[in-house]
Structure 1
Amino acid sequence: MDDQVRYKIAEAARMAGVSPSTLRLWESQGLVEPVRTASGQRLYEPAHVERLKRISWLRTDKGLNPAAIRESLSVEGSTPAVMEVKSDGAEKTIGARLRHLRRDVGCTLEKVADRTGITVSLLSTFERTSQGLSVKALHDLADFYGTTMAALTGQGESSARESLVRNAEWTAWPPTSSGVTVQNLTTGRRQMECHRFQLAPGASSEGAYSHDGEEFMHVLAGRIEIILDGDQFFELREGDSFYFESRRPHSWRNTHEGETVLIWINTPPTF
Structure 2
Amino acid sequence: MTHPSRALQHADGIPAKFGTPQTASDNRADLGRNLKRIRARLDMTLEDASQCTGVARSTFSKIENGQMSPTYDVLQKITAGMKIDIAELFDATRADAPLGRRSITRRGEGKDHATGTYRYEMLATDLSHKRMLPLRAIICARSLDDFDGWVRHDGEEFVSVLSGQVEVHTEFYSPAVLEAGDSMYFDSRMGHALLSLSKEDAEVIWVCVG
TM bin (shorter chain): 0.5 to 0.7
Q: Please show how residues 88-167 of structure 1 align to structure 2 within 5 Å.
A: 93-103=30-40, 104=42, 106-109=44-47, 112=50, 116=54, 118=56, 120-129=57-66, 131-154=68-91, 155-158=94-97, 161-166=101-106
| Counterpart in the other structure of 1:208 | 151
Change (3 A) 1:172 1:99: closer
Q: Tell me the secondary structure at the aligned position of residue 133 of structure 1.
A: coil
The answer to whether the 8 A contact 2:152-2:190 is kept is yes
Higher relative contact order (CA 8 A, sep 6+): 2
**Structure 1 59/149 Cα, relative in aligned 2: closer, same or farther at 3 Å?**
same
Preserved CA contact (<8 Å) 2:53 2:82: no
Q: 1:197: which partner in 2?
A: 137
Distance 1:164 1:133 in 2: 25
Match of 1:266?
Answer: 208
Unaligned runs of 5+ in 1: 1-56, 63-71, 86-91
**Equivalent position of 1:255 in the other structure:** 196
Query: Structure 2: where are the runs of 5+ without partners?
Result: 1-8
Percent sequence identity over aligned pairs: 17
Moved over 6 A (4+): none
Number of positions where the alignment pairs a residue of Structure 1 with one of Structure 2: 187
Checking the alignment, whether the CA contact within 8 Å between 1:125 and 1:131 is kept in structure 2 is yes
Spell out, residue by residue over 1:60-114, the C-alpha distance to the aligned partner (whole angstroms, 9 max, x if none): 438xxxxxxxxx98xxx884998x99xxxxxx82213323444525343487179
Q: Determine if contact 1:140/1:209 at 8 Å carries over to the other structure.
A: no
The SS at the match of 2:184 is strand
Task: Work out which of the two has the higher radius of gyration on C-alpha atoms and give 1 or 2.
Answer: 1
* Aligned-pair Cα RMSD in Å: 3.9
- Compute the TM-score of the two structures, normalised by the length of structure 1: 0.53
Distance between the aligned counterparts of 1:110 and 1:59, measured in 2? 41
How many Å separate the matches in 1 of 2:13 and 2:62? 29
Show the 5 A alignment for 1:14-93.
58-61=10-13, 79=19, 93=30
